Amino acid sequence: MIFLRNDVDFLKQKVEERQGELLDLVKTLITYKTPAPPARNTQEAQEYVGAHLKKLGYTVDMWDVYPNDPNVVGVLKGTNTGKYKSLIINGHMDVAEVSPDEKWIGDPFIPVEENGHLIGRGAADMKGGLGSALFALQLLKEYEIELPGDITLQSVIGEEVGEAGTLQCCKCGKGAEADFAIVVDTSDLHIQGQGGVITGWITIKSNQTYHDATRRNMIHAGGKLVAASAIEKMSKVIQGLQELERHWAITKSYQGCPPGTNTINPAVIEGGRHAAFIADECRLWITVHYYPDETYEKVTKEIEEHILNVSKGDLWLKDNPPSFTWGGTSMIEDRGEIFPSLEVDSKHAGVQLLSQSHYRTFHAEAKIDVSPTVTDGGWLAAEGIPTVIYGPGDLTNAHAVNEKVSIDQLVDFTKVLLEFIYTWSHKEKEEENLNGL
């Protein structure tokens, strides 16, 4: 199979000539109101994506993850599947919530162009990336460019609220196998990995409930009641978490991450039942950020061991130790989430090729670093698929009022993606040397 440089140059030229159509496609995606929360609102938008992919000859699978929130996976089999490299392009259809009191220049779901930017909810995070990917696939089809390797596009739901539509693709085996994956989420066109995030609940619970009038007996000399307020005891747990967080900050590091990026945030505290009772239960909701070379299993074990050791030093907690619940499938449904970490191997053939594709468009080296936030990319990496985050838009605009993305960046991103798709698909599976591509 011969790689033709002029095919790529032709396609990139067409992106320039037809950028109005690219913008129209992104604008169409923005007009679908898909904020999460409240979620359960992506059906029409996903049907649009599915129909678009079917027109391009993709085999499309759409199924509900939650009612009115379906995933869409489109697969285009290559002309020589067994011999040439396959690719997953992944993006999420849900966008950040919009509060009624936000001061937008207009309706957040009626996109406008202004000063070289496209403004609308999801423009940066991440309907710009998803729309650009769809347009790239459209150009390949319209100009009858046949690809020897398989191409899969995943348009998933729930990323904004930890519902991990991507995880459901992996569980169902629908588009979860490939030689490389690009999550076209907000990275300002840096090639990125990510640390991980997991939420958890730490619960302190007394085995008995006491009236408020018994407080004197449990805190003063001669009271003879060995009991405690679960709320007050939670302060020792919080102190223990702070000690561990500081310990992590001086004993752990990861290149590309600012020192102390691995944090333990006591985000929400709930406890007690009534002012006439001693608090017999207290729950602490925490968010843990960890480095790309760590797993959530490892960091949660460290937290549990440390807090249980702290508890052994307390006269009441040693007999009433805290319990732990980690992760969850939805911040809406069960108030929990997991985003696995993702490491980027700069020497991997896919990363090198993406860097080269970036260079040929920008005449500047691609930045390979670590995202300060998280995406669904960790789920693909957990399946053993080499994965990177690479997409238009920057984090100052993600979730922001008057969210915007540079039009030039959308165009340039589409060029890079087209070159990468074409070149990667023409790379033989056993090939490792990129020289000469």
| Cα–Cα distance for residue pair 266/279, rounded to 1 Å | 19
pLDDT confidence tier of residue 223, bands split at 50, 70 and 90: confident
CATH number at residue 399: 3.40.630.10
Q: What percent of the chain has pLDDT over 70?
A: 97
Cβ pair 323, 205 in contact under 8 A: yes
For residues 287 and 219, state if they share a domain.
yes
Residue 5 has pLDDT above 90, yes or no: no
Catalytic residue of the set 69, 94, 294, 383: 94
For residues 26 and 87, state if they share a domain.
yes
For residues 382 and 264, state if they share a domain.
no
Least confident of 1-5, 47-51, 159-163, 293-297: 1-5
What's the one-letter identity of residue 87? L
Q: Residue 303: what pLDDT?
A: 98
Residue 144 has pLDDT above 70, yes or no: yes
Cβ neighbors of 56 (< 8 A, separation 6 or more) are: 74, 76, 137, 138, 140, 141
Q: Residue 431: what pLDDT?
A: 60
- The per-residue pLDDT for range 163-222, each reduced to its tens digit, is 999 999 999 988 789 999 999 999 999 999 999 999 999 999 999 999 998 999 998 888
The answer to whether 304 is a known catalytic residue is no
Cβ pair 137, 194 in contact under 8 A: no
CATH number at residue 268: 3.30.70.360
Last residue of a domain, one of 291, 326, 361: 326
Q: Residue 435: what pLDDT?
A: 46
Instruction: Note whether residue 431 is domain-resident.
Output: no
The answer to whether 428 is a known catalytic residue is no
Q: Residue 1: what pLDDT?
A: 43
Q: Residue 434: what pLDDT?
A: 44
- Mean pLDDT in residue range 15-43: 98
pTM of the predicted model as reported, rounded to 2 decimal places: 0.94
What is the tally of structural domains in the chain? Answer: 2
Q: Residue 433: what pLDDT?
A: 45
Catalytic residue of the set 7, 125, 150, 159: 159
- Mean pLDDT in residue range 132-159: 97
- The per-residue pLDDT for range 385-396, each reduced to its tens digit, is 999 999 999 999
Q: Residue 173: what pLDDT?
A: 87
* pLDDT mean across residues, the chain: 95
Least confident of 89-98, 170-179, 268-277: 170-179
Domain that includes residue 83, residue range: 5-194+342-425
Strand order in the sheet with 87-92: 59-66, 69-76, 151-156, 87-92, 181-183, 387-389, 191-194, 368-371
